[in-house]
Amino acid sequence: MTTRESPQSRLQSAPGTQCSALLTDWYQLSMLDAYYQLDMQETAIFEFFVRRLPKQRSFLVAAGLEQVLEYLQNLRFTPEEIDWLASTGRLSSIGLQRLASFRFTGRVFAVPEGTVFFASEPILRVEAPLPEAQLVESRVVSLLHYQTMIASKAARCRLAAPRAQLIDFGMRRAHGAEASCLASRASYIGGFDSTATVEASYHYGIPLSGTMAHSFVQAHELESQAFLNFARCHPQNIVLLIDTYDVIRGAQRVVEVADRLRSDGIRVQGVRIDSGDLETAACGVRAVLDSGGCEDVQIFVSGSLDEYAIERLVSAQAPIDAFCLGTRLAVSEDAPSLDCAYKLHQYADRPVRKLSQYKESWPGPRQVYRRYDPSGYLAMDVLACEDEVIDGRPLLQEVMSNGRRSCEPPPLSEVRRYCAEQMEQLPPKYRTLEHVLEAPVKVSQGQHRLADEVGQIPH
Amino acid sequence: MTTRESPQSRLQSAPGTQCSALLTDWYQLSMLDAYYQLDMQETAIFEFFVRRLPKQRSFLVAAGLEQVLEYLQNLRFTPEEIDWLASTGRLSSIGLQRLASFRFTGRVFAVPEGTVFFASEPILRVEAPLPEAQLVESRVVSLLHYQTMIASKAARCRLAAPRAQLIDFGMRRAHGAEASCLASRASYIGGFDSTATVEASYHYGIPLSGTMAHSFVQAHELESQAFLNFARCHPQNIVLLIDTYDVIRGAQRVVEVADRLRSDGIRVQGVRIDSGDLETAACGVRAVLDSGGCEDVQIFVSGSLDEYAIERLVSAQAPIDAFCLGTRLAVSEDAPSLDCAYKLHQYADRPVRKLSQYKESWPGPRQVYRRYDPSGYLAMDVLACEDEVIDGRPLLQEVMSNGRRSCEPPPLSEVRRYCAEQMEQLPPKYRTLEHVLEAPVKVSQGQHRLADEVGQIPH
């Protein structure tokens, strides 16, 4: 069920890398206009982080950086967009002029995609003239938020099923076209094996999977004829859907059909069950298949699956070879948003912080130093000022300077491998679906000192 | 806070109306390939409906039809896409040939956008040669699912706040670019007044709103200087964010600043509070503003708002003029997916149904007949076979024939007005945030009879 990798060139036009400069919040444009009028163009430092993790998450997996860098590099206003902005009568002529020639020229530091991280840790830092660093907020948040949420959900599914195949079926219930493709990408990073979304395979080279729909069976008068027809038209990768009428009778028909197909040299790869009690159904179907000489036919299951359902089925030793996840993966059903932010930490060399109730932020540019124990497990992250001297491996690295990428993006398969390695370094107590209250993170003395100083500045 | 309507022409290129034909599930293509090989091209009838409503919903609002019709009308495979499909080695040459010249040529019946509906009622029916009606499933579901979910959430927010301004702030946490823009569109249909998403205003002509961010305040050394600068750069539509450091001191600074601005002929329209206990903060801020001669300055609030929070604030008579909804609207946080389906109901004049456990479907093409009581309230929907003679107004109307729209799309403001009218026809017991168990829907005798007949067909 795999297909060859797409050529690198197509990645440039993938969904999520091309969007209008108008895909932003209105206040970004009115603030930009003010910054230009006031000539406030000193360097601003913004950081993206997740304030608090959803109560169902003990760690997150960073994803979306590739699309952020593409966005920053290609960001332009078209003449038509400038004309329209002018027609609103809300921006100054100096503002419109500056937007017409707008380019992102800043530096970006980030953790690699696939990195495990915790609440409050920056995973991206933008250093750029204030108007540039400001304008990009809405889209940067959108890209990092969604893919990080999905990669994290996918990594949990992989924890629940270390060995089974995991397949993304989420396209139709994901929230729109871009989410469909980015869900495939992010779930692949988090440990999924393949996707059913054709466009995601085309753009990102993700292996493609697919079975058949109930309508195919219904469009035939006889279920067994539908099975035979499908198999003969698609002699590779045959996965037959067996629950349109009755799942056990469906399995019995697969046995008959597999026998007839065997003489034509055609092998049925698997069956899919999409309804009912999946544990009971899988056991019943396995027995029918085995007693009918179809020991090598795999069982795929789908239907409202998530990491919790997978864990139950795996613990019960249900004979399932592949889990196909749709809605609950693609919308991250139990936690469909992250409490994330892109906040100003410094302007014109002056560290700043926000003191809003329950939403205070740390001041100044920061770095995360990761320490490991002798067994190679993550022992502690230290959240420090960027210029402090701290033990540990610094996670944020320069990925863009002068508005250009510092290096070529790694292949997606490499990102996926790196994420799997990150998951292996996660201490066992975080490698479960249960919520672990405390994160292995401490804040440096230097950072505390700076926060106190900045907090005391009278405004 | 409004902007003029966009020209109709731009609606054609709006997000959600243009997408690759590869934005589909792989099984659609393998089934298509089989249908072409088997010459199964008789007319198929598929219907889109929501099986069960989320437990937090008592009704839904249909939305997304416009994007579906655009999609169907423009659906093409590019030569590059065909080449790539060929390179996968998974499709037959006859299949590839047919895809290269693929067009949607069918008929579509649908309820108008903004229509209130209930579980199991079809809101769209596609009648087309089987391969065409099949291929479009994934994208049709994606478009109707998301916008219907958001319009329904928005309508609940409007129920909770019949008079306040409602503003969409959801772009950054919506799941990707398309969701951002379609959330603005769907929430506008459901009763919102405006959006902060610039691209949604550009494409759909939705009134544009926006305030300012904390970073603007932080980039200044003094909060009051930030307020003055913002106001002087943007003398219209001034909404000042007052909770960066301390919300009451922020309000006091607005009073001082408003006084200075008044002499320049500049009026502060409002203040925004984004953190803390919004009821307490709004009361405190209102008192400060009123005693400082700023009785006409409105209070905008934001931060984790949804219909439940709005209802609490409105019941407490908190002095709030505008609610700005972000994340919880754009991801429909309490119900981020709908259990919807696009199912085959008839093929080659043979009614069919699915009997999968808990996922049985009704057979044959259907119609919804809506009846009203003497006061004009919706009294009962009757779900019947399409050709039954039933009292009531039929909700599904032809909107496309031979793959072309039957009429021009109504302006979005008209759809919004129609939705408000639908909400007024909803009986009072459904016009609350509480869940009402039973829907005002019954199934006709003819439909029951047909289901029994079809269910008894031996497969």
pLDDT, chain A, mean: 94
Closest residue of chain A to B344, computed from CA coordinates: A215
- When CB atoms are compared, the residue of B88, B350, B352 closest to A3 is B88
Residues B106 and B260: their CA atoms lie apart, in Å, by: 64
Q: How confident is the model at residue A7 (pLDDT cuts 50, 70, 90)?
A: very low
What number of other Cβ atoms are within 10 A of residue B8's Cβ? 11
Written as six digits, the tokens of B133 are 């009606």
End-to-end CA distance of chain A: 61
C-alpha torsion sign, points B260, B264, B267, B272: negative
- When CB atoms are compared, the residue of B34, B178, B209 closest to A230 is B34
Residue B343 distance to chain A (closest CA, Å): 7
Environment class of B74 (CB within 10 Å of its CB; exposed 0-12, middle 13-18, buried 19+): middle
End-to-end CA distance of chain B: 61
Instruction: Please give the average per-residue pLDDT across A357-371, as a whole number.
Output: 88
Residue B387 distance to chain A (closest CA, Å): 21
- Strand A397-401, strand B116-117: pairing: unpaired
Chain A residues close to B354, C-beta within 8 Å: 214, 218, 244-245
Contact A275 B30 (CB under 8 A): no
Residue B319 distance to chain A (closest CA, Å): 20
CB under 8 Å to A342, separation ≥6 — which residues?
A: A46, A47, A48, A126, A137, A140, A141
**Res. A11: pLDDT tops 80:** no
Chain A residues close to B207, C-beta within 8 Å: none
Which residue, among B35, B147, B215, B306, would best test binding to A if mutated, counting the most A CBs under 10 Å from its CB?
B215
Chain A residues close to B172, C-beta within 8 Å: 25, 137-139, 141-142, 145
Contact A243 B182 (CB under 8 A): no
Residues B37 and B31: their CA atoms lie apart, in Å, by: 10
Closest residue of chain A to B37, computed from CA coordinates: A233
Residues B228 and B254: their CA atoms lie apart, in Å, by: 9
Written as six digits, the tokens of B220 are 């200044």
Written as six digits, the tokens of B283 are 């009361």
Contact A22 B358 (CB under 8 A): no
Contact B215 A343 (CB under 8 A): yes
SS3 A273: strand
Residue with tokens 């569109």: B185
pLDDT value at position A18?
66
Query: Nearest CA to B306 among B337, B332, B278?
Result: B332
- When CB atoms are compared, the residue of B24, B90, B210 closest to A27 is B210
- When CB atoms are compared, the residue of B27, B90, B246 closest to A213 is B27
Cα-Cα-Cα-Cα torsion B453, B454, B458, B459, nearest 10 degrees, comes to 180
- Contact status, residue A450 vs residue A351, Cβ threshold 8 Å: yes
pLDDT value at position B3?
41
Chain B residues close to A52, C-beta within 8 Å: none
- Contact status, residue B208 vs residue B194, Cβ threshold 8 Å: yes
The overall longest dimension of chain A from CA atoms, in Å, is 85
Contact A179 B176 (CB under 8 A): yes
Written as six digits, the tokens of A34 are 């003010």
pLDDT value at position B354?
79
Chain B residues close to A33, C-beta within 8 Å: 233-234
Contact B90 A34 (CB under 8 A): no
Closest residue of chain B to A20, computed from CA coordinates: B199
- Number of A/B CB contacts below 8 angstroms equals 333
- Contact status, residue B196 vs residue A142, Cβ threshold 8 Å: no
Q: Per residue in A194-228, pLDDT tens?
A: 999 999 999 999 999 999 999 999 999 999 999 99
Domains and CATH numbers, chain B: 9-150+338-455 (3.20.140.10), 162-330 (3.20.20.70)
pLDDT value at position B359?
72
Chain B residues close to A139, C-beta within 8 Å: 172
Query: Nearest CA to A112 among A182, A64, A150?
Result: A64
Chain A residues close to B27, C-beta within 8 Å: 196, 210-213
Sort residue B35 into left (φ over 0), alpha (ψ -120 to 50) or beta: alpha
Residue A375 distance to chain B (closest CA, Å): 38
Q: What is the ipTM for the molecules in this complex?
A: 0.95
Chain B residues close to A84, C-beta within 8 Å: 6, 202
- When CB atoms are compared, the residue of A197, A275, A358 closest to B359 is A275
Chain A residues close to B6, C-beta within 8 Å: 84
Residue A391 distance to chain B (closest CA, Å): 31
Query: How does A24-59 read in b/e, with b if 16+ C-beta sit within 10 Å?
Result: bbbbbbbbbbbbbbbebeebbbbbbbbeebbeebbb
Residues A165 and A151: their CA atoms lie apart, in Å, by: 16
SS3 A197: strand
Which residue, among A222, A337, A353, A359, would best test binding to B if mutated, counting the most B CBs under 10 Å from its CB?
A337
Written as six digits, the tokens of B365 are 């093409």
Q: What does each C-alpha distance from B110 to A160, B191, B246, B367 come to in angstroms?
A: 42, 21, 52, 10
Which H or E element spans position A46? strand A43-52
pLDDT value at position B360?
78
Residue A438 distance to chain B (closest CA, Å): 24
Chain B residues close to A20, C-beta within 8 Å: 199, 202
Residues A11 and A17: their CA atoms lie apart, in Å, by: 8
- Strand A339-347, strand A165-168: pairing: unpaired
What number of other Cβ atoms are within 10 A of residue B379's Cβ? 15
Residue A116 distance to chain B (closest CA, Å): 21
Instruction: Please give the average per-residue pLDDT across A259-285, as a whole number.
Output: 96
Instruction: Please give the average per-residue pLDDT across A261-265, as a whole number.
Output: 94
- When CB atoms are compared, the residue of A34, A176, A352 closest to B233 is A34
SS3 B381: strand
The DSSP annotation for B20-88 comes to -TT-SBHHHHHHHHHHHHHT--SEEEEEEEEEE--TT-S-EE---HHHHHHHHHH----HHHHHHHHHT
Each residue's pLDDT tens digit in chain B (459 positions)? Answer: 444 444 444 544 455 456 899 999 999 999 999 999 999 999 999 999 999 999 999 999 999 999 999 999 999 999 999 999 999 999 999 999 999 999 999 999 999 999 999 999 999 999 999 999 999 999 999 999 999 999 999 999 999 999 999 999 999 999 999 999 999 999 999 999 999 999 999 999 999 999 999 999 999 999 999 999 999 998 888 999 999 999 999 999 999 999 999 999 999 999 999 999 999 999 999 999 999 999 999 999 999 999 999 999 999 999 999 999 999 999 999 999 999 999 999 999 999 987 777 777 889 999 999 999 999 999 999 999 999 999 999 999 999 999 999 999 999 999 999 999 999 999 999 999 998 878 999 999 999 999 998 875 444
Residue B113 distance to chain A (closest CA, Å): 18
Which residue, among A2, A30, A224, A237, would best test binding to B if mutated, counting the most B CBs under 10 Å from its CB?
A30
pLDDT value at position B236?
85
This prediction has a pTM of 0.96
pLDDT value at position B10?
52
β-partners of residue A323 are: A166, A301
Residue with tokens 């038509």: A80
